[in-house]
Structure 1
């Protein structure tokens, strides 16, 4: 019987001077990652989400002796968990020095993250076979990106509570999250808060948490006093302080803004393979000026590019939104399924937990539903069936 994880130490894959989709160079870039199981087994890639870290953010869906799962089982699969640029583990504003460190770190897209992860798998870990990719929220965005950017390599993508393109409504929500930090001008100091004050912009981060408080969980969750029932927190002010502010003030402000930019610019059609007449991307993979600062579909050409990108996915896609998710609604997922066609299945998570139904593992019923759904989706070939 293979051990759960022989080495729980986070590893770092050096990318060198890494060219981004913008054409800028991210100097001495690297990806932080952790692996579970044997590399001789089929590979499952499981990227992190907004603010999530490798262990604290993703381990809840991976089988352990304490919490056995059927789907992400290190005894049968080689599970690779790479960290997003900007999460504080991979190259991020908080851990990068020099003229391109801190607030000046070049912005990164999902395309950049997936390109770096592809290099990690193929060159760093020697994985050239087809893989499965799954993830929650921004992890779902990366799953869609992988399936469209490297269609030959992805056998199955399972995005849950996320999207292939950031919608207008999602963009607006994120503007409020961003504004919470930037409005704290005294604390944020133009992004140089550590140099000038030696501390995070606490007022801005607390406000960010309170903005998020109205979105992460559904109206029904609050109405049924979910925080009291599941977390033992009574009263809305205690919820604000003990749950939301505790989370937000544990983060680095520039990291949060960097990942937020990545999220806002999520769009699988903004790559040369699919952009066509939309002008969202240029030859040589560059993200065009038109592809910056633009949410959703601004024209019919944009929508055509989005449809091409989804139709370009060759593997199976299991799309799993939550019926009460306030910024990734099932209606958007239905459009994605319709564009992909017969290779896609839409399976809605029925849950009062809203966006939190997709992670990070607090809702036990939703964890079981996700685990069971991924388990029966038959990730690999008959030689390595997930339901063996």
Structure 2
């Protein structure tokens, strides 16, 4: 038995691979294109592990997909591979359409061709697990109830539109062709190996470097925060027991405003790595809001709890402390991912303030 994971060198994907091997002896074939956010160093602890097969490749490459499926005969595909940063999607939406829409289409077609040819028992057991985001639901008003699986799709950025399109493709391939799919829509993840362009790692890295902490607009954008290993356990639960064709929202039950996240990070750094210059909160800098910035996301995760018994193990307080400590303990990892191209991109996005 084997599973095929796409995007398994990215932030969530690599955490999932590492978490998988803590709970299972089942081999993993890991397909990743190793774009800017894919980092094999995340998987360094698996060096020499014969159960982990890494393949550098593009999910748009149908011939490669067919080859991998024929060779490894996986019982499941867990599809993480995606362009995932809203800011980058605003500057360059084409890459998001290619990977998230065309790539998911290619993977679905390869999976369908493979699945149709399986023997009856293997065919019945096969799963295509599509990993998506709460951003497909749009933005909530302050008094709106959290996103449920039945919420209409109202994506507001090129990124969320591309993920919404991929969700619709997965749904259609189930209803039209019978492909055995499950979909999960998660809230904002945080934790180890997070590429430092996203809010929490960017604040940690910049604070330690004495650089400004750029906060969009008034900082009152609210997100539901999910520790990455909790997300991994939720995916394992849905892969094992989710009903075919169903969507499950995975959330952390942690609604926080961005500015409160930044202040929490500063307070933890003040405690764990105090600066001779005073509190890190002195570095908070408000910058122009990004176009179409959604005001609030929140996940109603009662369905996955009701059907599969899943709840997050971490509170935000325990998860954020573990996250800050990880970045303090791994400065070499941070230094190696901060390439010149990455620094140039930050200057473009935040007006040389980051």
Q: Same fold, TM exceeding 0.5?
A: no
Higher share in helix:
2
Q: TM-score, normalised by structure 1?
A: 0.27
Q: TM-score, normalised by structure 2?
A: 0.29
